[in-house]
Chain A
């Protein structure tokens, strides 16, 4: 029988950040569908508005259980439950920077259009599209930076125990 090894704090944090990135990507899709709904009419508009809120709910449900576990761990450890910042945390931070940059560049390009070609659109369009680009860039960047997932690859000393 194989016994499943208990998850360490570092592994939990990595898994939590991956879940957040997934939820952020789904939120981007939710805001994106809200923004695009202002550009299309008829049946497409109805479908986009129909999927917008459920996507947001799915994103919340993806993160909420692990968020509660994380808070519980922090409370149990008296706020001392901190693992050193590892690879996944570093990539998440880098992705957040990329997301901010993409959102900023999008706003710079959107600003002149807001008084011109897109002046007929409501303020919600500009807010939703900007948030979608920011969150979408964060999520995509994170998954690209973590695409070589070698978590399942053993190294040759795996079965040799704790060593010297």
Chain B
């Protein structure tokens, strides 16, 4: 089992009015990958995390954080 990881992708998607599919296309992954990251079922690789953060123009730790 992977360690839990909080994320704020859904919040940033809402701000950018971006669907899971559209974000997936931009990052180069499938929509299932984005949806499973959002619900915490899948901990993304460093490359995927950095690509998402770069797309939203924020540091990666703004998107992902360890639970308190």
Q: Which of B15-42 contact A (CB under 8 A)?
A: 15-22, 24-33, 35-37, 41-42
B23 → chain A closest CB, angstroms: 8
Instruction: Please give the number of chain B residues whose Cβ is less than 8 angstroms from any Cβ of chain A in the complex.
Output: 29
Instruction: Please give the number of chain A residues whose Cβ is less than 8 angstroms from any Cβ of chain B in the complex.
Output: 27
SS of B interface (majority): helix
Find out whether the CB atom of A163 lies under 8 angstroms from the CB atom of B30. Answer: no
B47 close to A (CB within 8 Å) = yes
> Nearest residue in A to B47 (C-beta to C-beta)?
A84
State which of B17, B27, B32 has its C-beta within 8 Å of the C-beta of A88.
B32
> Nearest residue in A to B36 (C-beta to C-beta)?
A87
Residue with the highest number of chain B CB atoms closer than 10 Å, among A151, A161, A162 = A162
B48 → chain A closest CB, angstroms: 5
Query: A residues engaging B (CB < 8 A)?
Result: 8-11, 13-14, 83-88, 90, 149-151, 153-155, 157-164
